[in-house]
Amino acid sequence: MARSDAILMRLLELHPKIIDLSLDRMWRILERLDNPQKKLPPVIHIAGTNGKGSTLAITRAIMEAAGLKVHCYTSPHLVKFHERIRVAGELISENDLSALLEECEVANGSEQITFFEITTAAAFLAFSRTSADYLILEVGLGGRLDATNVIDHPAVSVITSIGLDHQQYLGDTIGEISREKAGILKRGVIGIVGAQSVEVRDEIERVAIKVGAPLKIANQDWQNYTQHGRMVFQDEDGLLDLPTPALQGPHQIDNAGNAIAAVRALKDQRISDAAIEAGLLNVTWPARMQRLTNGHLNEFLPIDAELWLDGGHNGPAGVVLAKTLKDLNARHPKPLIMIWGMLNTKHPGDFIANFKGIAERVITIAIPGEINTIAAEDLALIAKQNEVAPSAAPSLEKALEQAAVLHPAPRIVICGSLYLAGHVLAMQSGETMSALSGAAKR
């Protein structure tokens, strides 16, 4: 086991049995670490339900195309915990991560603290000790009481698409969840608001008025849309004629708009229109409608089959994945087979219902090594209830073998969970996964 994994496993033992969303534990450990959150470069703070990671990735790609050094903080990880912390453009090293985690462990002592809080503190230490032009900071859960929400005055706040998620912590209604996620807005700091339902937008505007945060709202203060195979972005500073982002799916147009609106709000003369274009063309983000080629899993399939991976795991993510697959099929028809696994903390029916009439078959699997996985047989029953033809498989390899015998060669999409996606990427590359699951407690 890697040294960092051993420390992370110890830190899990400090996790409270019952989580009360609060910043008190976070303020305590940051004070003991001499407040690294006050020594960070300008912060782009991103909250939302779907699209946070892709918006972060596109923002980073644009900034790096402009020659800037960028820290990034995201969660969960897929294969290695190190993926969560990118320091000046590079994944944090094993030695640095281990040393920082141990420093935080000593500072905290034996007091209760959530896993996400103490690892976020370690990330802030890393970012405070290496110079960079910006930090792109993704919220872990919610916004108002999230461990990342200790930044007094970010450079810009971004709120991506909001839907029902984490109701056990954030509230049962879309209004309650919207208010929690809008809690990252700060007085005098521009808030970029991505495309939302009217109810969500109204809640965000109410929070913004209360705290004194000016907003730039999609389809009101800025627009982005496709036209003749290109993407058009327009705001008060003018119109940009751009390529569509390298990330697959029409929803990535919205995420690209969030990123462009954010970097334009910074008024940083170093970020040119050419850098925006280069960032869109070169952005990568694993497990977001990612085509898998030339790896171990392809060995199970005929040469003319397609293999894709997507980590979307809730109803809204199912909507955008279904639309992406319909658009792809319109351009390149192939029978669609889904290999589907989910955790019991999500709502599988809300996800799979979107694929009625699109998927020829759903092959269900349990997510390896995850105690909160839904059994393959239970998922198959849910698929049947939603009128999607199911079969259950004992493993990912067996599911691929089932799909491989179909003719013509199918388009196979492995989906339903970022934690399943991590296992898929590790199997595809032959890389050893971190001993700590990406589903480690927040």
Domain-wise residue ranges, the chain: 3-282, 290-429
CB neighbours of residue 261 within 10 Å: 25
Cβ atoms 431, 297 nearer than 8 A: no
Per-residue model confidence (pLDDT) at position 236: 95
Classify the C-alpha dihedral 421-425-427-433 as positive or negative: negative
pLDDT at 169 over 80: no
Strands in 390-392's sheet, in edge-to-edge order, are 290-291, 306-309, 411-415, 336-340, 361-364, 390-392
Q: Which of 421, 342, 417 is nearest to 374 (CA)?
A: 342
**What are the tens digits of pLDDT across the range 39-87?**
999 999 999 998 999 999 999 999 999 999 999 999 999 999 999 999 9
Task: Tell me the pLDDT band of 316, cut-offs 50, 70 and 90.
Answer: confident
Cβ atoms 127, 137 nearer than 8 A: no
Looking at the DSSP bridge assignments, the partners of residue 226 are: 231
For the ranges 97-106, 159-168, 248-257, 278-287, the lowest mean pLDDT is seen at 159-168
Could you tell me which CATH number the domain at 290-429 has? Answer: 3.90.190.20
pLDDT at 245 over 60: yes
- For the residues 336-349, what does the mean pLDDT come to? 93
Per-residue model confidence (pLDDT) at position 173: 87
For the ranges 30-34, 141-145, 359-363, the lowest mean pLDDT is seen at 141-145
Task: Tell me the pLDDT band of 363, cut-offs 50, 70 and 90.
Answer: very high
Total residues belonging to the chain: 442
| Backbone angles phi and psi of 235, in degrees to 5 | -145, -165
User: Chain-wide mean pLDDT for the chain?
Assistant: 93
Per-residue model confidence (pLDDT) at position 440: 63
pLDDT at 118 over 70: yes
Q: Which two tokens stand for residue 349?
A: 């029916």
Per-residue model confidence (pLDDT) at position 7: 96
Q: Which two tokens stand for residue 99?
A: 């040393």
pLDDT at 156 over 70: yes
For the ranges 14-28, 120-134, 285-299, the lowest mean pLDDT is seen at 14-28
pLDDT at 437 over 80: no
**What are the tens digits of pLDDT across the range 189-217?**
999 999 999 999 999 999 999 999 999 99
pTM of the model: 0.92
pLDDT at 334 over 90: yes
| Assigned architecture for domain 3-282 | 3-Layer(aba) Sandwich (3.40)
